[in-house]
Structure 1
Amino acid sequence: MSQIPILVVAALAVLQTVPALAKDFSDPTWPCIQRKVDQLSLGLMWPYPVPEAQLAPELKPGADELVDTLVLRRVSMDEAEALVADFDRANPELTVEDHGLIFKAVFDDINHDRSRLIEGISRYSLHQIEAAARIEATRQAIDAEMAKDEPDYDRADALEEQLHWDERIYQDRAQSLIYVCETPVLLEKRAYAIAQALSRVVNN
């Protein structure tokens, strides 16, 4: 970890000409413009107390299937709301506490996936910082070679080729991060939307 500040300085230098990953590098493990929130808060999404209990055995299989479906991002929120409404109609005995337990199961799955994604982004960021440092070191090596009275043009050409290749990889990865950085926010929005869908059937 002691190498991070050196890598950050190098990254800041190279980012003058390579697309930036973040507004600042105060946290080198977080390259996203979006604010980093390590863990979501159940209480901020679900307006009712969630009991320390389990769903009734007759409800659990259907509820588990509902949860497994709701967390899938390929399932649209319109579909998710319809599934919630169908499950509620099929189980008129559901209580506020039951709905809370269902949402907690959804929340725990989404929060777990989101936390793993944030950890992956952090590792990705450090790899990018290291790549930026290599790019800057190559630039300096080219400048040093060309400043000699008798430059080794073959070496300079080889360094230029390596520089272009490293920059291309860096830029491709930076573009990928634009999408990846949005995903934690999308997961947070999905969790909140599911909370709202469950709250609506509670209030009906």
Structure 2
Amino acid sequence: MPRITAAVLIGALGFATVGATADFSDPTWPCIQRKVARLSPALMWPYPIEERTFDPATEADVTDLAGRMALRRVTLDALTPRVEAFVTSHGNDPVLLGHVFTQAFDRLAGQRREIMAGIEEYSLKQIALAKRIDDTRTRMDRQMDAENPDFDKVDALEEQLAWDERIYTDRQKSLTYVCETPVLIEKRLFAVAQMLAAMVDD
């Protein structure tokens, strides 16, 4: 079966591209990257995914390899000798290697769902903070427009406004990194699938 190309997969998953724009119709998704709520292992693994039970020793090695693949701090280069050792020990049956991939997929997709839920919560907090900033500005304007402004209250509101604006700005600065994380996980999953599929083709 022909291997899925990077271009096809990127289009299917909706990876971020230069010039992409945010979809502001969803207030819980503040990222430029298009929101893809769920991933499918079948889009990444270029062979039929079959359910099969393996012996306990093989299953233990599958769990170990998939667990390492799900550790994003472990580079793909560092994984290569472990994949080669696994294939040397257990062969390059596409069903077995697909089993490895689906386990790694489940772990990384779970991480991705948690991160996306955090982004959604983050966005709602930013929306609430923006509203509070606007409300504070309105209250300040009312005080300053009053015949006898309460300058102590204005000072307190101004201090609160400065603090809230600083928090809002700091959060926005970290948004780029946070939004990139789900995409990085998608790319890692694709790379893991390609690494394992290459062993089938050898």
Query: Under TM normalisation by the shorter chain, which class is it?
Result: 0.7 to 0.9
Residue 184 (str. 1) matches residue 182 (str. 2): yes
User: Counterparts of 1:83-98 in structure 2 under 5 Å?
Assistant: 83-92=82-91, 94-98=92-96
Q: Give the Cα separation in 2 of the matches to 1:52 and 1:65.
A: 19
Q: Give the Cα separation in 2 of the matches to 1:25 and 1:129.
A: 12
Q: Secondary structure at the match of 1:84?
A: helix
**How far did residue 180 of structure 1 move?**
0.9
5+ long unaligned stretches in structure 1: 1-21
> Which residue identity does 1:83 align to in structure 2?
R
Match of 1:194 in 2: 192
Q: Tell me if the contact between 1:80 and 1:194 (Cα under 8 Å) persists in the aligned partners.
A: no
Q: Secondary structure at the match of 2:56?
A: coil
Q: Give the Cα separation in 2 of the matches to 1:55 and 1:189.
A: 28
More displaced stretch, 67-76 vs 23-32 = 23-32
> If the length of structure 1 is used for normalisation, what is the TM-score?
0.85
Q: Give the Cα separation in 1 of the matches to 2:145 and 2:26.
A: 36
Match of 1:142 in 2: 140
5+ long unaligned stretches in structure 2: 1-20
Q: Tell me if the contact between 1:81 and 1:194 (Cα under 8 Å) persists in the aligned partners.
A: no
Residue 62 (str. 1) matches residue 57 (str. 2): no
> If the length of structure 2 is used for normalisation, what is the TM-score?
0.86
Q: Tell me if the contact between 2:66 and 2:104 (Cα under 8 Å) persists in the aligned partners.
A: yes
Match of 2:18 in 1: none
> Which residue identity does 1:40 align to in structure 2?
L
User: Counterparts of 1:23-172 in structure 2 under 5 Å?
Assistant: 23=22, 25-92=24-91, 94-172=92-170
Q: Give the Cα separation in 1 of the matches to 2:22 and 2:191.
A: 29
Q: Give the Cα separation in 2 of the matches to 1:134 and 1:82.
A: 54
Q: Give the Cα separation in 2 of the matches to 1:89 and 1:37.
A: 36
**Aligned pair in 2 of structure 1 residues 160, 126: CA closer, same or farther (>3 Å)?**
same
> Which residue identity does 1:61 align to in structure 2?
A
**How far did residue 24 of structure 1 move?**
5.0
Q: Give the Cα separation in 2 of the matches to 1:186 and 1:135.
A: 33
Q: Give the Cα separation in 1 of the matches to 2:198 and 2:143.
A: 69
Q: Give the Cα separation in 2 of the matches to 1:100 and 1:68.
A: 14
Q: Give the Cα separation in 2 of the matches to 1:156 and 1:58.
A: 70
**How far did residue 150 of structure 1 move?**
1.8
Q: Give the Cα separation in 1 of the matches to 2:134 and 2:33.
A: 27
Query: Looking at both structures, which has the greater relative contact order when contacts are Cα pairs under 8 Å and sequence separation is at least 6?
Result: 1
> Which residue identity does 1:111 align to in structure 2?
A
> Which residue identity does 1:57 align to in structure 2?
P
Identity of aligned residues (%): 48
More displaced stretch, 57-66 vs 136-145 = 57-66
